[in-house]
Structure 1
Amino acid sequence: MLSLQSTSKPGHMATSNLVLVIMLMNILVSGWRIGVDGLSMDYYLMTCPFADGVVRNTVNRALQSDPTLAAALIRMHFHDCFIQGCDASILIDSTKDNTAEKDSPANLSLRGYEIIDDVKEQLEEQCPGAVSCADIVAMAATTAVFFAGGPYYDIPKGRKDGRRSRIEDTINLPAPGLNASELIRMFGQHGFTAQEMVALSGAHTLGVARCSSFKQRLSNFDSTHDVDPTIDTQFLKTLSKTCSAGDNAEQPLDTTRNIFDSDYYNQLQRKAGVLFSDQTLFVSPRTKPIVNGYAFNQAMFFVDFQQAMLKMSWLDVKEGPKGEVRANCRKIN
């Protein structure tokens, strides 16, 4: 090998040193920030510099073929982070000795696993053992939000993959029958304010709900009402027609199911929220003003949503020996 030192002239060395100083300054200015738990915006700068691009390109190709997968990827990220933190526990397959999170009734409708597998396969070819499945899930969600017309936001990377995925843990996922007070309490246990909870609920501007998750609103609702009184009478007919096709029949969560906008909140104002846990946000005096604010000001919703999603991406992240980088997202190493 040639020795750079032996062949470099003084002027060349001075220039090289100046370039090195400028590069270091640029890195510092651009935010090579180390955050809580060792996460960093540029975590893969040296080990896998094209990781972000691979995620974006792969997710974008998948969403161009099927725009409904945007909602699926955002939901996957949420269901991952709410259980054991953002550690890709949602991706692990069940074994004969363990029933994993993904086989919980609350997760059976999750989709998009093949997109994560595709990204992981590409990254393992380019930089083996570098990029965690947990980071892939989080980055895929940010891409999905932007692809659907929502705000762009970047997230720090460096999450490690967890080694636990058990069906019993999914009892901690918010159920579609919770009221606003219960949602505030459940999200509060993860450090979210009521405002952040309402902002995160705005992810329901994308996607659909199955009849099985809202049919309890349509008959034998409670001891006083046969039908949930918070449903608009015309919308009740729509929901009833949907459910006439069976428990798996799907109802769009708002009128623009593949577009990330504030229509979800407008729909709550019209008493046309699909899930009880949606409509309750407009019923509760504590959350109703927040719903009205987002319905009136989409830009404010976008800002609050991206900040809440960024905060969610930090939930109980694994770092160092607390986690690993799986070679296969579906299996613990």
Structure 2
Amino acid sequence: MAVRVLPLPPVLVLPLLLALVASVHGYGGYGDGKLRVGFYKDSCPDAEAIVREIVAKAVHKDPTANAPLLRLHFHDCFVRGCEGSVLINSTKGNTAEKDAKPNHTLDAFDVIDDIKEALEKRCPGTVSCADILAIAARDAVSLATKVVAKGEWSKDGNLYEVETGRRDGSVSSAKEAVKNLPDSFDGIRKLIKRFASKNLSLKDLTVLSGAHAIGKSHCPSIAKRLRNFTENRDSDPTLDRAYADRLRRRCWRPKDKTTELEMVPGSSETFDTAYYGLVTKRRGLFHSDEALLRNDVTKGLVYRYRDSPETTFLRDFGVSMVNMGRVGVLTGSQGEIRKKCAFVN
């Protein structure tokens, strides 16, 4: 049983985050069409370092860039799996995922393009756009975490190790994005169904919802929740009334797309467990946040992450990101390695 354990200080030991066992998980060695940590060790040794360098520059220039990079990986994996289709441009005959309504607020495509350009110069036709998304998401969230910033997590500053070896898909459909992407107005039953369709558990649902610890939204995303949620045109009854009043004052124009709303007020650039504290107070920005309190398992996990050491959540987040990163992957001779992420070869 081959095990890789990140070298951490004793207080932050990561218990077998990626105990990769090919016979159990179906992911194995280089060249066999399976995901593995260090897939590019021989073919492009500097791949992850190049991604990290460009992500770090982007986040240094704009501290809010970490959330969009994380979202790109999420939105990719929930439609057709983690195969880079969210990056493909629309054509005259096809409206692609990135132009679907749920994806209109996606950003950081330019960062992915910069990474791809650098990798094509170093290792032409080798590193997939799908893998770039996975690595960039890991690096973005790691850089937004205090324990990494303080050098207290691991020697390379990564919260978890990314399995690589994905290849890129060639189909991108806006209709599929609308059908498959979790919605901010989803209730708990629909959320459970969406995640289960990707073989993701209730724990994965709760942990990955913690990605709302960073980032911002805009008034149209919550307009219905503030004014027209019920037939009586009332606000969402699951939203704390005082918080709803505060949000209404900020979003006095429901269609205002310029006013930014922090997912976690005062902490939207730091990846931590503050999000779960807001959820327990019914102050999560989205209805889907409060929905976590409507199931005994997810509710218990919300309170656990609120009350436990932050490292408990960070460890579990890494595990769930690896789980999500396995959804619907193309490997081996499947798919392609796109030369430019926005275009099929």
TM range (shorter): 0.7 to 0.9
1:129–1:326 contact (8 Å) kept in structure 2: yes
* TM-score (ref. length: structure 1): 0.87
* Cα distance in 1 between the residues matched to 2:100 and 2:233: 31
Q: Indicate the residue corresponding to 2:344 in structure 1.
A: 332
Range with greater deviation from structure 2 (284-293 or 167-176) = 284-293
Range with greater deviation from structure 2 (242-251 or 72-81) = 242-251
Q: Indicate the residue corresponding to 1:197 in structure 2.
A: 205
Q: Indicate the residue corresponding to 1:240 in structure 2.
A: 248
Residue deviations 1:228-247 (CA, integer Å, cap 9, x gap): 12222221122102211442
Question: Which ranges of 4 or more aligned residues in structure 1 deviate by more than 6 Å?
Answer: 26-34
* Cα distance in 2 between the residues matched to 1:199 and 1:32: 21
Range with greater deviation from structure 2 (26-35 or 120-129) = 26-35
Q: Indicate the residue corresponding to 1:302 in structure 2.
A: 314
Letter in 1 for 2:166: R
- 2:261 corresponds to 1:251: yes
* Cα distance in 1 between the residues matched to 2:75 and 2:288: 16
Residue 153 of structure 1 and its aligned partner are, at CA, apart by 0.6
- 2:179 corresponds to 1:183: no
Residue 220 of structure 1 and its aligned partner are, at CA, apart by 2.9
- 2:226 corresponds to 1:218: yes
2:210–2:276 contact (8 Å) kept in structure 1: yes
- 2:101 corresponds to 1:88: no
* Cα distance in 1 between the residues matched to 2:118 and 2:339: 12
* Cα distance in 1 between the residues matched to 2:282 and 2:193: 23
Q: Indicate the residue corresponding to 1:161 in structure 2.
A: 168
- 2:301 corresponds to 1:290: yes
Q: Indicate the residue corresponding to 1:16 in structure 2.
A: none
Residue deviations 1:147-203 (CA, integer Å, cap 9, x gap): 000771111111000010011111210111111121111101111111110100000
Q: Indicate the residue corresponding to 1:71 in structure 2.
A: 67
Residue 284 of structure 1 and its aligned partner are, at CA, apart by 3.8
Q: Which runs of 5+ in 2 are unaligned?
A: 7-18, 147-157
* TM-score (ref. length: structure 2): 0.84
2:159–2:315 contact (8 Å) kept in structure 1: no
Q: Indicate the residue corresponding to 1:113 in structure 2.
A: 109
Larger radius of gyration: 1
Higher helix share: 1
Residue 289 of structure 1 and its aligned partner are, at CA, apart by 1.3
1:73–1:144 contact (8 Å) kept in structure 2: yes
Give the secondary structure class of the aligned counterpart of 1:321. Answer: coil
Residue 287 of structure 1 and its aligned partner are, at CA, apart by 2.1
Range with greater deviation from structure 2 (313-322 or 130-139) = 313-322
* Cα distance in 1 between the residues matched to 2:21 and 2:143: 26
Q: Indicate the residue corresponding to 1:21 in structure 2.
A: none
Q: Indicate the residue corresponding to 1:260 in structure 2.
A: 271
- 2:274 corresponds to 1:278: no
User: What is the count of residue pairs matched by the alignment?
Assistant: 308
